[in-house]
Structure 1
Amino acid sequence: MSDSILSATSPRSSRIVGSPVDAILPQYVNYLRAQRYADDTIQRYLASLVHFTHRLDKGLTLADINDVLVAEFVDVHLPDCRCPRPCMRHVNTVRAALRHLLAVLKQEGMSNADRTQLQTPVDIELELFRQYLVDICGYAQTTCSNRLGYIRHFLDSVFGQGPVTVDQLAPMDIEAFITRCFKGRSHATHRTYCVDLASYLRFRSLQGNDTHALLAAIPHMAPPMPARLPLAMTDRELGLFLAAFDLTEPIGMRDFAIARCLADLALRRMEVVRLQLGSFDWQNGIVTLTGNKSGRERKLPLPVQTGEALVRYLQYGRPDTSNRAVFVRQIAPYDKPISAGAITDLVRCGFVRAGLGERFHGVHVLRRTAATRLVRSGASLKEVADVLGHKHLNTTTLYARVDLDRLRTVAQPWPGSRS
Structure 2
Amino acid sequence: MSASKLAAHSARCSTAVGSPIDTIVSRYVDYLRARRYASDTIQRYLASLRHFARRLDKRLTLDDIDDALVMEFVDVHLPHCRCPRPCMRHVNTVRAALRHLLSVLKDEGLSNAGRAQLHTPVDIELELFRHYLVDSCGYAQTTCCNRLWHIRNFLDSVFGQEAVTADQLTSTDIENFTARYFKGRSHATRLTYCVDLASYLRFRGLHGDDTRALLAAIPKMAPPMPARLPIAMTNRELDLFFAAFDLTSPIGMRDFAISRCLADLALRRMEVVRLQLGSFDWQNGTVTLTHTKGGRERKLPLPVQTAKALIRYLRYGRPDTSSRAVFVRQIAPYDKPISAVAINDLIRSAFVRAGLDERFRGVHALRRTAATRLVHCVIELAPVEPGAMDRHTST
Rounded Cα–Cα distance in structure 2 between residues aligned with 1:180 and 1:14 = 48
Shift of 1:354: 0.9
State the AA in 2 paired with 1:244: A
Q: What do the CA deviations read for 1:53-106 (whole angstroms, capped 9, x no partner)?
A: 011111111111111111221222222222222222222211111111010001
| Contact residue 188 and residue 223 of structure 1 kept, 8 A | no
Distance 1:164 1:310, change over 3 A: same
| Contact residue 11 and residue 22 of structure 2 kept, 8 A | no
> Which residue matches 1:235?
235
Distance 1:346 1:142, change over 3 A: same
TM-score normalised according to structure 2 size: 0.91
Moved over 6 A (4+): none
Partner of 1:246: helix, strand, or coil?
A: coil
Shift of 1:107: 0.6
Ranges in structure 1 where 5+ consecutive residues have no aligned partner: 381-408
Q: Where do residues 314-333 of structure 1 align in structure 2 (5 Å cutoff)?
A: 314-333=314-333
Partner of 1:287: helix, strand, or coil?
A: strand
Shift of 1:226: 4.6
Q: What do the CA deviations read for 1:105-139 (whole angstroms, capped 9, x no partner)?
A: 01100001122524321111111111211222111
> Which residue matches 2:246?
246
Q: Where do residues 275-294 of structure 1 align in structure 2 (5 Å cutoff)?
A: 275-294=275-294
State the AA in 2 paired with 1:205: G
| Contact residue 201 and residue 215 of structure 1 kept, 8 A | yes
Asked whether 1:145 is paired with 2:145, we answer yes
> Which residue matches 1:120?
120
Q: Where do residues 74-223 of structure 1 align in structure 2 (5 Å cutoff)?
A: 74-221=74-221
Worse-superposed segment, 301-310 or 170-179:
170-179
> Which residue matches 1:365?
365
Q: What do the CA deviations read for 1:187-241 (whole angstroms, capped 9, x no partner)?
A: 3223212211111111112222232333333344465465101022111111111
Partner of 1:299: helix, strand, or coil?
A: strand
> Which residue matches 1:401?
none
Rounded Cα–Cα distance in structure 2 between residues aligned with 1:349 and 1:276 = 25
Shift of 1:375: 1.4
Rounded Cα–Cα distance in structure 1 between residues aligned with 2:91 and 2:180 = 38
Distance 1:304 1:176, change over 3 A: same
State the AA in 2 paired with 1:290: T
Asked whether 1:64 is paired with 2:64, we answer yes
| Contact residue 12 and residue 47 of structure 1 kept, 8 A | no
> Which residue matches 2:354?
354
Worse-superposed segment, 342-351 or 172-181:
172-181
Rounded Cα–Cα distance in structure 1 between residues aligned with 2:155 and 2:243 = 50
Q: What do the CA deviations read for 1:12-69 (whole angstroms, capped 9, x no partner)?
A: 6242552110011111011001101111211111111111101111111111111111
Worse-superposed segment, 162-171 or 325-334:
162-171
Rounded Cα–Cα distance in structure 1 between residues aligned with 2:222 and 2:287 = 36
Q: Where do residues 245-284 of structure 1 align in structure 2 (5 Å cutoff)?
A: 245-284=245-284
Worse-superposed segment, 16-25 or 235-244:
16-25
Q: What do the CA deviations read for 1:372-414 (whole angstroms, capped 9, x no partner)?
A: 111122269xxxxxxxxxxxxxxxxxxxxxxxxxxxx99x99x
Aligned length: 386
Q: What do the CA deviations read for 1:313-355 (whole angstroms, capped 9, x no partner)?
A: 1111111111111000111110001011111111111111111
Shift of 1:185: 3.4
Worse-superposed segment, 208-217 or 261-270:
208-217
Asked whether 1:55 is paired with 2:55, we answer yes
The alignment's C-alpha RMSD in Å is 2.3
Shift of 1:4: 3.1
Distance 1:176 1:42, change over 3 A: closer
State the AA in 1 paired with 2:99: R
> Which residue matches 2:39?
39
Shift of 1:160: 2.4
State the AA in 2 paired with 1:150: H
Distance 1:9 1:114, change over 3 A: closer
Rounded Cα–Cα distance in structure 2 between residues aligned with 1:135 and 1:354 = 45
Worse-superposed segment, 48-57 or 181-190:
181-190
Worse-superposed segment, 50-59 or 103-112:
50-59
Rounded Cα–Cα distance in structure 2 between residues aligned with 1:211 and 1:340 = 38
State the AA in 1 paired with 2:218: I
Shift of 1:359: 2.4
Percent identity of equivalent pairs: 77
Worse-superposed segment, 322-331 or 290-299:
290-299
Distance 1:248 1:58, change over 3 A: same
State the AA in 2 paired with 1:96: A
Partner of 2:98: helix, strand, or coil?
A: helix
Rounded Cα–Cα distance in structure 2 between residues aligned with 1:108 and 1:379 = 61
Shift of 1:248: 0.7
| Contact residue 16 and residue 53 of structure 1 kept, 8 A | yes
